[in-house]
Structures are given as C-alpha cells and as structure tokens.
Structure 1
C-alpha cells in the first residue's frame, strides 16, 4: 500500500514537473543569462557596433534610443518597428511619428548580420534594440542599466497603433501623462524618460510653430533657432534638442527652466504645471535624473515582450522568416 502510494505520488510529481517545464517553454521569461550558452559573445558584438556607429555620428546614439522607444510603445518590445512594408504587408515605418523621422536601421542590420555569422537564428531583433539603446546612452556619457533578454520578434505590426500610441511633439502635459499612463508609467517616470531629449536633434517641422508662435520661449533662443528653421520650407533642417546634444546629461532640464525647450511637448514639462518641481530637481541633481532614467528604461524594456514560443527570431530584422 505504501509502495503504491509512493509510486502514485512519484508519477504525479513527475507529471507536474513536466507541466512546469512545458509552461516555462511556452510562456518564457526574460533573463540576464538567456544567451549564456547559445551566443555568449552577443553583448560585446552589439556594444562594439554601437560604439562604432556613435563614434562615426554622435546623433546615432539618440536615434537608436528613440528606435527602442518607438518599438516598445507600439504593442510592446517586439521588433515590429523594424519591419519593412511589402506588397502584402504594412509595417509601422510610414506612421506619422515614424515617417522620415526614425532612423538607425542600418546599424541594426549591421549588428544582426554580425550576430547571424556567430550564432545563427539565436538573438532576436527586439533584444538587439533593447541592448543598443542602453549601449547608446552609455556611449554618450549616460547611465547604464541591467538589460534582460529572451524577447522574440513579432510577425505583425500595427500602423494604427503607431499613429495613436506615440506622443507627438505638440502634446500637452496632460496628454503626455495620459500617453505614458496607458503604458503603465507614472507621471514621474514620464518626466524621467523625457530626459532622453538631452541627446539628439529634431526636424524643423516638429518645432516651427513653437519658435514662431509661442510666448513661453526665450527670445534669443527662438531667434537663434529660426536661422535654421524658416517660417516655410526647410522642414527637415535639424536643431539640437538641448544645448549639449551629444552628451547624455541633465542639461535638458536646465534648458526647460530657462524656457529653451525646443519642442512644445518639452516645454510643457516646465510651464507652471505639476511637473515643474521634478524638472527643478533633475536640473540640480544629475545623479537623481540618471538613476530615475535608468530605472524607467528597465521598465520600458519589459513592455509586453513576446517570449517562449510566441513570435520568432528573425534572421533579417526587416522581414519575417
């Protein structure tokens, strides 16, 4: 009787263990050691490629960071933003916030090619994006954070979600708070993540109305920016998002206090509203900003990833397998 009971319990425990293993395979889980056996050198490959790209063009660091954001805010961190349109497929690249705006695809292609030569079909495009974003910030003097891996790539994309989920340069403070809240971020995390605009540049078409028609702007700053952004034409002319656009620091917040925010959405963070105090804190405490930004980026990278048997690992980030 005792032996029979033991065998029954043994069979039950074995069955439950199999279910647990199967469940783990199906649902998956992000892990710092996900590629430890299958592609142990993947981090150094990505870091080296990012450092080379940023060394060749500092602005590329901001572009790779933004690419990760534009991926994760549309149906999660699944690499969908990288998919090209085809005759039978519409991706996200032609969405209003992305068209003629997001860039860095060639850097991702280079990284993917190098990884495929070392460990074919192993490292996902979504994981490349999350790692490249972190490495870009570090390359420009910003903080690092722990990136976990195991994301898989989507076989679909959503043009409509890209158009509706990504906050625009004309957004109000309340719209920014709402947009980030819809993705699970607090208002404080939204302000911290907006600090990504301490690097990079923006196109004239995104800030023309501000420099010609808004009053909460430093007059000399507006005059200087107008030189490269006429009232008509020159839509793609670039201006820096803060006064140190190739260094990841807290200057963005100091500029806001001095009414030198380039985008309307930037200056909304310091315009007599609920975010003013946090902007002041970050402008005087760079370490606090760096800590909060890094923490929010960890959260960003965990937005609805595909794991386990969901999605795929694309061999070419621009198209499904």
Structure 2
C-alpha cells in the first residue's frame, strides 16, 4: 500500500508539472539566433573547450550548475548572480550552492564575454549555460544533442527559493522520485540525469556519515554496510582528516572518473556508489530497473540522458518579456 501511494503521488506531481514544461519547450528553437548571432554555438564551444583543457573539473561543475539553476525557478541563470552584486542573498548564497565550483561560473562568464563582443546584448546567460553544459558532456565522450534556445534571464534571484527544490546527497530514492516528479520528470529520467555523476567529485563531508558510524556500531569506525568493504576502508583512510580540511574530495566514479560513460551505473550494485543518494538508486526497485538497464547498455543511457537534458533545459524557462538578456551574468 505504501509503494502504491508513493507511485500515485509521483504520477499526480508529474501530471501537474508536465504541461508547463511542454509549453515552455515549444517557445524555444535551435535556430533562435540564426540571424541575430549566427556563430553563437561555435563561440561557446571554443571558449568551453579551452576552459576544459585548462581545468578538467570544469565539465562536471558546469553540469551541476545547470541542474541547480533549472530546478530552482527554471533555467533562467538566476544561480549565476553573485552575492557581491545583489541587494539580497541570491540563490548562489544558499548553503547547498556554496560548493558550486568557481570554474563553472567562470566558463559561463568567459563565453558570455566573447558573445558580447560578437553580438552585444543578444544571447542570454541562461542559453550560454545550456550550451556550455551540452558541449562539456560531448568533450568527455558523452552524447551530443541539439539545444533549443531563446531563454531569457531572470530579474530576481533569492536564496530562499532554493530549499526543498534540490536533491540532497543523503536523500532516499523515494524522496528524489517525488521531488523530480514535481518538476515533471519520471523515475527513468531521474536515473538518467543521475548518470552525470559519472564525472566529477564530492567532498568527504557529503558522505562522511556513511564511513564513520554508518553501520550502526556506534564506535565511530563502522561504515554503511551497503558499501563495498574495501572501498569503504579506502574512503575512511582518504577522508580521515576531512574535518580539518573540508576540501578533501573523492571522484564520484572511481573507476573512470574523467570519462562520461555507463560505469557509474555498473558501480552501484558493487557497492561503489559514493553518495548515499547514488546507492539509493540501486536499493529502490522503481529506480533499480533503470540503473541495471544503463549499466548494461551505454546507448540506452546516452539516448535517455540526452532526452532528459533537453527536457531539463526547458524547465520553467522565461521567454520574451518574461525575462531579460543580462549583459553580465553575475549581475541582475
């Protein structure tokens, strides 16, 4: 009865959100800048490639930045606003966004600056972020897909809008499924988007509860029994000083950390999922079926990820007079 009730909640939330997402997508077009800024994609691609070569962590950070922007009020570049330029605390100042890496903000700023030289006041920061995220996935070996354009930037950014709109690293798969359904996403799309964890890293503080006392022993050394024992012991050693040095990090996919592939999903049934929210996808039957599918079929993962990213890019978009084109992405 509990599972049936949850599935009903997911369905109701999905049906409520889906129409708005479809309407938003219809207002965007891959050819939006055909006349006003015909080289927009090439300009962004060149900046993104240079930044990724200089700092290989740019890709994962930008993917996360794109997700955090879209899931809070829609894909409108509101997460890019700097606390230094805003009268009130913007989204970027929210606790969960404090760990967003500076390189991801920088690559958007660089691409926007190049576009302002070529096509002043034309291309929104929201579109720049969407293109950068897509291009970086491709650079790491992931799927290429068209990005519909025409988003406008938000006129506001408020840290109070963030809480409850983004998944936490200790969330259950059930809770994540309900959260994603409120945004119009199915469990299948949730798992596909979670595949972005095939790249990037997480700070030890985000999963320390799984390493020290997670097994319920109470002695401060036991670990979450769902972790592979050898993996758990290696993590305990690597993260031993995380309280003194909160910057200590571990790759999300310890097998192929710099490659966008399906190995992240292969890791989960082996107890090699780093975050509790990763492991939860394997433990929950509703999402496990998709984890297994993607672990066995890279093509299926790439196809579903590409479609889910296109859908993500249409969440709550602002078009026309609903928003503006900001000349500088970190300033309202």
Report the CA distance between 1:47 and its aligned residue. 0.6
Report the CA distance between 1:28 and its aligned residue. 8.9
After TM superposition, what 4+ stretches of structure 1 lie above 4 angstroms from structure 2? none
Deviation per CA, 1:171-201, whole angstroms, max 9, x where unpaired?
A: 0111110111110000111011100000100
TM normalised by structure 1 equals: 0.88
Report the CA distance between 1:146 and its aligned residue. 1.2
Deviation per CA, 1:27-76, whole angstroms, max 9, x where unpaired?
A: 99211111011111110010111111111222110111111100000000
- Alignment-derived partner of residue 196 in structure 1: 196
For residue 50 of structure 2, the aligned residue among 52, 64, 79 is: 52
Deviation per CA, 1:211-261, whole angstroms, max 9, x where unpaired?
A: 231110001111112222126433221100012121000000000010100
TM normalised by structure 2 equals: 0.86
Write the distance in 1 (CA, Å) between the matches of 2:239 and 2:185: 33
Structure 1 counterpart SS, 2:238: coil
Write the distance in 1 (CA, Å) between the matches of 2:329 and 2:108: 8
Question: Which deviates more from structure 2 when the two are superposed, residues 175-184 or residues 96-105?
Answer: 96-105
Structure 1 counterpart SS, 2:112: helix
Larger Rg: 1
- Alignment-derived partner of residue 127 in structure 1: 127
Indicate how the Cα distance of structure 1 residues 100 and 276 shifts in structure 2: closer, same or farther if over 3 A, else same: closer
- Alignment-derived partner of residue 229 in structure 1: 239
Is the 1:77–1:302 Cα contact (8 Å) retained in structure 2?
A: yes
Question: Which deviates more from structure 2 when the two are superposed, residues 222-231 or residues 241-250?
Answer: 222-231
Report the CA distance between 1:145 and its aligned residue. 1.2
Write the distance in 1 (CA, Å) between the matches of 2:26 and 2:121: 17
For residue 82 of structure 1, the aligned residue among 80, 83, 87 is: 80
Is the 1:202–1:238 Cα contact (8 Å) retained in structure 2?
A: yes
Is the 2:127–2:149 Cα contact (8 Å) retained in structure 1?
A: yes
State the superposition RMSD in angstroms. 1.5
